[in-house]
A = this chain, B = another copy of it.
Amino acid sequence: MDRPTSPTSPAGASDPTGPTDAFHVYDTTLRDGAQQEGLNLSVEDKLVIARHLDELGVGYIEGGWPGSNPKDTEFFARAREELPLKHATLAAFGATRRAGVAAADDPLVAALRDSGADVVTLVAKSHDRHVDLALRTTLEENLAMIRDTVRHLRAEGQRVFLDAEHFFDGYRDNRAYALEALRVAAEAGVELVALCDTNGGMLPAQLGDVVDDVRDSIGVRIGIHCHNDTGCAVANTLAAVRAGATHVQGTVNGYGERTGNADLVAVVANLELKLGQSVLPADNLREATRIAHAVAEVTNVPPASRQPYVGASAFTHKAGLHASAIKVDPDLYQHSDPVEVGNDMRLLVSEMAGRASIELKGRELGFDLSASPDKLRRVTERVKTLERSGYTFEAADASFDLLLLEEMEGARPSYFEVESWRVITESSTSGEAESEATVKLFAGGERIVVTGEGNGPVNALDHALRSAIGQVYPEVAKFELIDYKVRILDQGHGTDAVTRVLIETSDGQRSWVTVGVGSNIVEASWEALRDSVVYGLRRG
């Protein structure tokens, strides 16, 4: 995962932020994206997402608001220790000093400095009504809060960006004041002002006109931060770039409050592929689909199949009209080459669909399917059938390997044969419920019956299974279940719905993923558990 190459030193050679600083790709998934309904990120989740963002090659990662809650404070502390970022610079988000308090005496301002982030992004009011009604202070004091906080942080050696909150609404109601807030920040030493369409009500042409005016009125670098309430977050961001903005904010998969923030991958892909502007390190965009999906695994928000560029359907063709011509020339029916963003073209009508990628995946696993077109066809059909019933093999390489083995060699490896299993979970007077599993199986010529306990049914089954098999294959003692994911498919049918379980197992050196599906969550988990042990034994 984390490639141990040189972390960027804040005190680095000539330009610490590197060549990409001419144009900022500024990700706020961990801060503004986390405002999305139903999205709840642990510190561990945030660290994993930050590594993905760095692999994508964004210039800045806004990690949260240190000091506002313990989780964000912990994130920055751990990020300093655990994140060797290759491309990205960490930014800490926070507010200007409180009214009537010196910046040096405001503990929230101190927390920004103490976070150790290289950049502080200060959010400031630029809409007069918000100063009056939400901040409840005078227009003058708000300007002083901006001025003092920026100066204080600059004096402490921080780089400072400004998020001008509700800027476009403020501009509409009181242009002079909105511009004055930017001017004060610029004079106090911010590197840029990001104009925020906080309520998301703007349209591109109107937004572009405002950015034009800001550019002509104030000599400061301009950034843009859009929300998707009119369905125009991506287009609004591009309109700002067209008007001179050189810093774009957004989130992976467009996560964010209400309708979400600008989808950063769509913004970047449009800039690179449609407008010829390189904003990521060369070739990094090819990781976009993989990374967008990996982040969705962490957030556990199902990826939108229709998502531009990276969605599962984004390069999928259904119409017979199209499919016949695609054979002649794929570019006739594609606006971009899906390879550019790491996605694939799929044809839904053709039974040829998927074979190429299955052949490729087989090769990765050491099977040459090109020589056996019949087997290739059979595997493809089986994968399609299984996927229709809820399986996914995109992540579950180990299950796919066992499936290939079965088709290529006629059978799966057989290390043991299960007679039956049972799990009991019951309430306990002392607190948490307890689970107990019994597994009966044959291995090494013996019938083995083992009972295991655990803090849940799957945990108990895992203990019983590995303890039973361990009597014949002691190497399973090394195996450890390190990740367990559950997704309810076909939501809306309650507990009758089909459940998909993904299990990641490690032998201390490598890890592998298996999948199980069923209407009974325990059975689906059992399938994935059983395959994880079989695969582990096969790999030796």
Residues of chain A from 59 to 99 with CB closer than 8 A to chain B in the complex = 68-69, 71
Say which residue of B234, B484, B486 sits within 8 Å of A230 (CB atoms): B234
A336 CB within 8 Å of chain B? yes
A382 CB within 8 Å of chain B? no
Return the chain B residue nearest A459 by Cβ: B495
Most B Cβ at <10 Å: residue of A129, A312, A489, A492: A492
A282 CB within 8 Å of chain B? no
Say which residue of B309, B429, B497 sits within 8 Å of A484 (CB atoms): B497
- Whole-angstrom distance from the CB of A382 to the nearest CB of chain B? 16
Return the chain B residue nearest A504 by Cβ: B494
Return the chain B residue nearest A424 by Cβ: B424
Contacts of A232 in B (CB 8 A): 232, 234-235, 238, 270
Query: When the two chains form their complex, are residues A495 and B484 in contact, meaning their CB atoms are under 8 A apart?
Result: yes
A447 CB within 8 Å of chain B? no
- Whole-angstrom distance from the CB of A108 to the nearest CB of chain B? 12
Query: When the two chains form their complex, are residues A325 and B134 in contact, meaning their CB atoms are under 8 A apart?
Result: yes
Query: When the two chains form their complex, are residues B420 and A427 in contact, meaning their CB atoms are under 8 A apart?
Result: yes
Query: When the two chains form their complex, are residues B260 and A306 in contact, meaning their CB atoms are under 8 A apart?
Result: yes
Bound: A268/B197 CA distance, A: 21
Query: When the two chains form their complex, are residues B35 and A318 in contact, meaning their CB atoms are under 8 A apart?
Result: yes
A482 CB within 8 Å of chain B? yes
Bound: A134/B320 CA distance, A: 12
Bound: A317/B198 CA distance, A: 12
Contacts of A235 in B (CB 8 A): 203-204, 231-232, 234-236
Label chain A's interface by main secondary structure: mixed
Query: When the two chains form their complex, are residues B274 and A203 in contact, meaning their CB atoms are under 8 A apart?
Result: yes
Query: When the two chains form their complex, are residues B432 and A422 in contact, meaning their CB atoms are under 8 A apart?
Result: no
Query: When the two chains form their complex, are residues A423 and B426 in contact, meaning their CB atoms are under 8 A apart?
Result: yes
A406 CB within 8 Å of chain B? no
Query: Can you list, as one digit per residue, whether each of A393-427 has a CB less than 8 Å from chain B (1) or not (0)?
Result: 01100000000000000000000001011111111
Return the chain B residue nearest A426 by Cβ: B422
A275 CB within 8 Å of chain B? yes
Interface size on A, residues (CB 8 A): 132
Q: A424-B424, A433-B526, A520-B455 are in contact. Are A492 and B483 (CB under 8 A)?
A: yes
- Whole-angstrom distance from the CB of A536 to the nearest CB of chain B? 14
Q: A231-B234, A333-B199, A488-B486 are in contact. Are A319 and B456 (CB under 8 A)?
A: no
Query: When the two chains form their complex, are residues B313 and A520 in contact, meaning their CB atoms are under 8 A apart?
Result: no
- Whole-angstrom distance from the CB of A77 to the nearest CB of chain B? 17
Q: A35-B352, A456-B521, A495-B454 are in contact. Are A42 and B201 (CB under 8 A)?
A: no
Q: A426-B421, A427-B420, A457-B522 are in contact. Are A318 and B257 (CB under 8 A)?
A: yes
Query: Can you list, as one digit per residue, whether each of A437-479 has a CB less than 8 Å from chain B (1) or not (0)?
Result: 0000000000000000011111100100000000000000000
- Whole-angstrom distance from the CB of A239 to the nearest CB of chain B? 7
Query: When the two chains form their complex, are residues A521 and B458 in contact, meaning their CB atoms are under 8 A apart?
Result: yes
Bound: A239/B490 CA distance, A: 38
A positions within 8 Å CB-CB of B: 1, 35-38, 40, 42, 44-45, 68-69, 71, 129-130, 133-134, 166, 198-201, 203-206, 228-236, 238-239, 242, 254, 257-260, 263, 266, 269-270, 274-275, 298, 300, 302, 304-309, 311-319, 322, 324-325, 328-329, 332-336, 348, 350-352, 392, 394-395, 418, 420-427, 429, 432-435, 454-459, 462, 480-497, 499, 503-504, 518-523, 526
Which 7 A-B residue pairs are closest in the complex by CB-CB distance?
Answer: A201-B335, A235-B235, A134-B325, A422-B426, A433-B523, A231-B234, A459-B495
